[in-house]
Amino acid sequence: MPIAATQTSRISLQQLRKGDRGRIESTDLPADDAAMLRALGLRPDAPVRMCRMGQTCIVEVCDRLGGGCRIGLARSLAERVVVRRDEF
Amino acid sequence: MSVVEPKPEPPARPEAGGVESPSVRSLAEVPTRIAVLGNPNVGKTTLFNRLAGVRHKTANFPGTTQEAHLGRLVGGSSAASGEAKASAPLLIDLPGVYSLSLNVAEAQICRAVLAGELAPMGTTPAAPDALLVVVDATNLLRTLALAAEAAAMGKPMVVAVNQMDVARRRGLHVDADALSQRLGCPVVAISARTGDGIDGLVSALRQPVQPLKEFGGLGERSEIEAWADSVYAEVASASSPVSNKLADRLDAAFTHPLVGVGLFAAVMTGLFWVIFRLANYPMDWIDALFGWAGGTVAGTLPEGPIQSLLVDGVIAGVGATVIFLPQIVLLFFLLSLLEGTGYLARAAFVIDRLLRPFGLSGHAFVPLLSGHACALPGIMAARAVPDRRDRIATILAVPFMSCTARIPVYVLLTTLLFPGRPGLQALAFTGCYALGVVAGLVTSLLFRRTVLKGKSLPMALELPAYRLPDLRLALLTTRDRAWVFLRKAGVVILGISVVLWWLGTYPQSPPPREAVELQAVATAIETTGQEVWVLESRPAFGLVQGEAVSAAEVRAQAESIAARHSARRTVLGRLGATMQPVFEPLGYDRQLVIGVLASFAAREVFVSTMAVQVIGREDFDEDNGIQDALANAKRDDGTPVFGTATSWSLLVYYVLAMQCLPTLAVTAREAGGWKWAGLQLGWMTMLAYVLAAAAYRIALAMGAS
């Protein structure tokens, strides 16, 4: 079912579970906040991994070689970042 | 809403024949001013310390609390000396930024400095003629984007790829030559922590090269990111997948909603235990040093106004401030070490949730906790709060925390309120601390909804990699903080101490008849050897009715009477009498008002001032009878000075009132203007006045005397 598949793969960053991986697709934030997240590394197509879920979550922005950084993110920001969850 | 955009074509990789020779694009002479630019957490300041050595300066940018480090390029194994140092390029360490285009204070400052419109205080604004861009080998993809932004400015530059030692351990490789080709400027692989590659970087900085012209066409963020992707694919490789399991486990513990808070409490308790435990020794030494200095001056100069000014004004006033230096040094040294481990960012993350409802961010916890030792380091620690509004709210809340200077006042008043009942004294003591915390949080909430109204930056915090702390960086940071404290607070407090000394000393008046007569009696005892008996007990002086008294005891009483008489006739004493009606609703008589006014600069002075007012001696000690004397002290109308209702009122007043001039001076500096210090003083005084009056009325209504 393509529609269902689309619905489950495009979720907010806040909905990723611990250990889930995905890629940033878009943000629905004021320009300054969006620019800050983008400069921090949360940019379109960036691979991410959820390290801790919760009111404030921790996501790892990881490149193909394993470099990258971890970012603590308030719920108000994380729930307005759309990701494509990697399906295994 | 931003969406995924098609990747634009990155600038073409320079072909061999299409690139200008770097020598053509390099500066003809060694640059005179080099700006150091980089993301936060890339080791920029550690590198700056390597390049500039220990003799660098710290200065604020005008009108901001943002700091820049300034120093000459003298580092490396072939360190310059003498004249060469003076003519070496000036390095300006700019605030860490994720992007130059962001609408945040750090980026605005970087843009202004790079445009030559702004310079740290003490230097003339001028555009830097070269850039040193620091990127992180362990987070190269993101940090390359800033290098591209810098390259687009067209200034000669050098790129330092830092943390190569960590990258190697994690199996990451960066091809500096390939990166140099893509940028068109020198790229040097270094480890600022170990010093590897620093000599090569120093050489490169003497001949920076203008990057390729293609960067001028990189405007959109997506273009910069596409360029970074393309370069990263070419210059970076890994020999084995990197494991993050240890970081995962540590994060799981440190950021756990319960375990994380518990660990944070344990870490902070340990930190403050060390501070209180260790700071006592140097504080005693400083106290002894200033005591010795005062004694020496008093013994050298003849008695008179100059001696009094130096001993009671300058030495006592400066000593009262400098005594806090050990606490400040230890606090910043330990905090700097903790920050270097990567832990503090996790702590801020955990505490953010608890403080957010009060308009504060997680970064405010360390300043608030530090405020319980002394407001000065607490306010200075607020520099770690990234958002300006959050930072000022933190600075306004910190002085409500019960600092060590309040303790003598709490001890006096709780003992007077509950004599011989240590359990109730401890409860009242704890209540003072709780009232301070609540007042601080309410203050923050109030100001964040009024004068500091505006959206708080939601938590978006980079959690740096765990690593061993950098001892050298911690020591240099501590040195900078200590110097700032001594220079700013010391100078201000010196002036204020002199003013208060004058107000509390002049006009001088001759001793009253009673004191003159007692001096005569003391002289008679000394010359004739006649015995004299006490007619009325004076426990504060060890005088018991019916017992023989020595000449020294009689002289002490004479001096006490003279001191009380004199204190009431100084400007401060007369001001106390004039201001008494203002404090009438709080239940304070003339003597208490003098105590409150005299302790305006430093609240702990209240106890010694009251001792002088009541019995003419300031060496307050629980065991020597002075406390009894204070408890039994009478007003001019015969009622107790420290009635129960008045003591409650005083306790509330001293929990909430500012009564600390060094704090005001540091607030003005850290918050960016005296208007904030004025607001802090006005708000704290008003709150203290209203709630102390309320406490007085409530106590009276409940039947207290």
**A chain contacts of residue B236, beta-carbon cutoff 8 Å:** 63, 65, 67
CA distance A83 to chain B (A): 11
Q: Are residues B133 and B173 in the same domain?
A: yes
Are B63 and B125 in contact by the 8 Å Cβ rule? The answer is: no
Higher pLDDT, B523 or B54: B523
> For A62-66, B33-37, B231-235, B582-586, which range has the lowest pLDDT when averaged over its residues?
A62-66
Q: What is the pLDDT of residues B277-326, one digit of tens each?
A: 788 789 889 888 988 998 899 899 998 888 888 887 788 777 766 777 88
CB contact under 8 A, B464 and A69: yes
- Please choose, from the candidates B615, B644, B637, the residue with its C-alpha nearest in 3D space to the C-alpha of residue B628: B615
Please tell me the distance from the alpha carbon of residue B94 to that of residue B70, in angstroms, as a whole number: 9
- The answer to the question of residue B637 being in a domain is no
Encoded tokens for B185: 């400027």
Distances (CA, A) of B415 to A21, B407, B422, B424, B617: 62, 12, 8, 9, 19
Q: Are residues B140 and B34 in the same domain?
A: yes
Encoded tokens for B266: 């344990």
Q: What is the pLDDT of residues B447-460, one digit of tens each?
A: 999 999 987 777 88
Per-residue pLDDT, averaged over B425-443, amounts to: 91
Confidence of residue B11 (pLDDT cuts 50, 70, 90): very low
CB pairs under 8 A between A and B: 129
Residue B257 clears pLDDT 70, i.e. is over it: yes
- The answer to the question of residue B12 being in a domain is no
pLDDT at A88: 59
Q: Are residues B234 and B371 in the same domain?
A: no
Q: Are residues B222 and B339 in the same domain?
A: no
CA distance A72 to chain B (A): 5
**B chain contacts of residue A79, beta-carbon cutoff 8 Å:** none
pLDDT at B517: 86
CB contact under 8 A, B247 and A25: no
Encoded tokens for B326: 């050990």
Give the 3-state secondary structure of residue B314.
helix
Q: Are residues B26 and B174 in the same domain?
A: yes
Domain ranges, residue A22: 2-85
Per-residue pLDDT, averaged over B669-693, amounts to: 94
Confidence of residue B55 (pLDDT cuts 50, 70, 90): confident
Residue B143 clears pLDDT 90, i.e. is over it: yes
Q: Are residues B137 and B214 in the same domain?
A: yes
- Please choose, from the candidates B595, B592, B616, B629, the residue with its C-alpha nearest in 3D space to the C-alpha of residue B515: B616
Encoded tokens for B52: 């500039």
Q: What is the pLDDT of residues B88-135, one digit of tens each?
A: 899 999 989 999 999 887 898 899 999 999 988 888 889 999 999 999
- The answer to the question of residue B499 being in a domain is no
Domain count, chain B: 3
User: Chain A: which residues have CB within 8 Å of chain B?
Assistant: 25-28, 32-41, 43-45, 51-52, 54-56, 58, 60-61, 63, 65-74, 76-77
**A chain contacts of residue B4, beta-carbon cutoff 8 Å:** 25-26, 44-45
Residue B580: strand pairing partners: none
Q: Are residues B285 and B394 in the same domain?
A: yes
- The answer to the question of residue B379 being in a domain is yes
Q: Across chain B, what does the average pLDDT equal?
A: 84
Residue in A closest to B3 by C-alpha:
A26
pLDDT at A2: 37
pLDDT at A6: 42
**B chain contacts of residue A76, beta-carbon cutoff 8 Å:** 458
Residue in B closest to A72 by C-alpha:
B461
> For B534-548, B645-659, B677-691, which range has the lowest pLDDT when averaged over its residues?
B534-548
Q: Cβ of B349 under 8 Å from any chain A Cβ? A: yes
pLDDT at B7: 40
Domain ranges, residue B440: 262-403+423-492
CATH for A73: 2.30.30.90
Domain count, chain A: 1
pLDDT at B647: 96
Residue in A closest to B149 by C-alpha:
A39
As a whole-number percent, the residues of chain B with pLDDT over 90 amount to 35
Site from A43, A57, A73, A83 to mutate, B interface, most B CB atoms within 10 angstroms: A43
Site from A32, A63, A71, A77 to mutate, B interface, most B CB atoms within 10 angstroms: A63
As a whole-number percent, the residues of chain B with pLDDT over 70 amount to 88
CA distance A5 to chain B (A): 19
Confidence of residue B420 (pLDDT cuts 50, 70, 90): confident
Place of tokens 């606090």: B331
- Select from B208, B242, B276 the last residue of a domain: B242
Q: Are residues B439 and B546 in the same domain?
A: no
Segment holding B532, helix H or strand E: strand B532-533
CB contact under 8 A, B2 and A38: yes
Which residue type sits at B12? A
Q: What is the pLDDT of residues B504-541, one digit of tens each?
A: 888 888 888 888 888 888 888 888 877 777 777 665 55
Per-residue pLDDT, averaged over B361-389, amounts to: 83
Q: Are residues B479 and B559 in the same domain?
A: no
Place of tokens 């878009």: A26
Residue B58 clears pLDDT 80, i.e. is over it: no
**B chain contacts of residue A66, beta-carbon cutoff 8 Å:** 170-172, 238, 241-242, 244
pLDDT at B241: 64
Q: What is the pLDDT of residues B458-485, one digit of tens each?
A: 788 899 989 889 898 899 888 887 887 7
Q: Are residues B516 and B488 in the same domain?
A: no
Per-residue pLDDT, averaged over A5-19, amounts to: 78
- The answer to the question of residue B392 being in a domain is yes
CA torsion angle B199 B200 B205 B207 (round to 10): 130
pLDDT at B486: 78
Predicted-complex ipTM score: 0.90
CATH for B140: 3.40.50.300
Confidence of residue B215 (pLDDT cuts 50, 70, 90): confident
Site from B232, B248, B249, B351 to mutate, A interface, most A CB atoms within 10 angstroms: B248
